[in-house]
Structure 1
Amino acid sequence: MDLRLELVPIPVADVDRAKSFYSGQLGFVVDFDHRVSDDFRIVQLTPPGSACSIAFGVGVIDTPPGSVRGLHLVVADIDTARAELLGRGVDISEVTDLSAPGKPTVSYAGFADPDGNTWTLQQVRD
C-alpha cells in the first residue's frame, strides 16, 4: 500500500499576506487561488521540487492561525538555502548541526510564517 502525503493545510489569519509570504519570500509556486464565496477560498502552493503542497484560505481549516509546528523543508545545501531566504527577507535562525557517533550530521535552520507557523530547513550530511 502506498501512502503519499500530498497536501498539508496551514492555518492563517490573512490569506493574502500568507500567499505573499509563501510565494514571494519562500518561492513556493502558486498552483491555484480559487474563491467560491465569501465563506470559502482556497490557495494551494507547492515548494519547488516537492511532491507535497500546502493549502490555506477561508473555510479551509479550523485550527488557530500559527498552530502548525516544525514542518521540514529538506534541502541539498542548507547554507545556500538559508542565504537565499535571508536575501528575500525571511527571518531565519543560524544553522545548527546535530550529530551522533557513526551517524550523518543533520543540520537545521528554523523560521516562521507571518502567523507563527514554524518551518525548518533540514540537510543531512554524510
Structure 2
Amino acid sequence: MDMKLELIPVPVSDVDRSKTFYVDAVGFHLDHDVEPGNGMRIVQLTPPGSACSIAFGIGMTRPDAAPVHGIHLVVDDIAAVRELLRARGVDVGPVRDLGGVAYASFSDPDGNTWELQSLAGLRGL
C-alpha cells in the first residue's frame, strides 16, 4: 500500500502577502491560485524539485489554527540555499550541525517555521 504525502495545508492570515513571500522570496512554484466559489480561494505552491506542495487560502484552515512548525526542505548545499534566501530578504538563521546533519531555520510572515536540512552536513561551509 502506497501513501504519498502530496499537500500540507499552511495557515496564513494574508493570502496575497504569503503568496508573495513563498513565490518571490523563497522561490516556490505557483501551481494554482483559484477561487472555486462561496468566497473560497486556494493557493497551491511547490518547492523546486519537490513532489509535495503546500496550500493556503480563504476557507482552507480555521481562523484560529496554530502555525505549522518544522516543515523540512531537504537541500544538497545548505550554505548556498541559505545565502540565496537571505539575498531575497528571508531571515534565515545560522547553520547548525546536529551530528553530521545541518539545519538552518526561517519563518514565514505568520510564524510557520521551516527547516533547511542537509544530509551532507556542513559541506561547503
Give the alignment's TM-score, normalised by structure 2: 0.92
Q: How large is the Cα RMSD of the aligned pairs? A: 1.4
Aligned to 1:9: 9
Change (3 A) 1:66 1:24: farther
For residue 51 of structure 1, what is the aligned residue in structure 2?
A: 51
1:72-115 per-residue CA deviation (whole Å, 9 max, x = no partner) reads: 0000000000000000000010000011xxxxx10000000001
Inter-CA distance 96–74: structure 2 relative to 1 (3 Å threshold):
same
The answer to whether residue 87 in structure 2 is matched with residue 87 in structure 1 is yes
Give the equivalent residue in structure 2 for 1:121.
Answer: 116
Name the SS of the counterpart of 1:13 in structure 2. Answer: coil
Unaligned regions of 5+ residues in structure 1, if any? 100-104
Whether the 8 Å CA contact 1:32–1:45 is kept in 2: the answer is: yes
How far apart in 2 are the matches of 1:67 and 1:20?
18
Query: Match of 2:85, SS?
Result: helix
Please give the TM-score of this superposition, normalised by the length of structure 1: 0.91
Query: What is the identity percentage for the equivalent residue pairs of Structure 1 and Structure 2?
Result: 55
Deviation, 1:61, is 1.2
Q: Give the match for residue 102 of structure 1.
A: none
Aligned residues: 121
Report whether the alignment pairs 1:108 with 2:100.
no
The letter for the 2-side match of 1:111 is: F
- 2: CA distance between counterparts of 1:61 and 1:31? 19
- Whole-angstrom CA distance in 1 between matches of 2:108 and 2:38: 24
Question: Residue by residue, what CA displacement relative to the aligned partner does 1:15-49 show, whole Å, maximum 9, x if unpaired?
Answer: 00000000000000000100133620000000000
Judge conservation of contact 1:42–1:56 (CA < 8 Å) in 2: yes
User: Is there any run of 5+ residues in structure 2 with no aligned partner, and where?
Assistant: none
Given that 2:30 and 2:46 are in contact with CA atoms closer than 8 Å, whether structure 1 keeps it comes out as: yes
Range moving further from structure 2, 66-75 or 34-43: 34-43
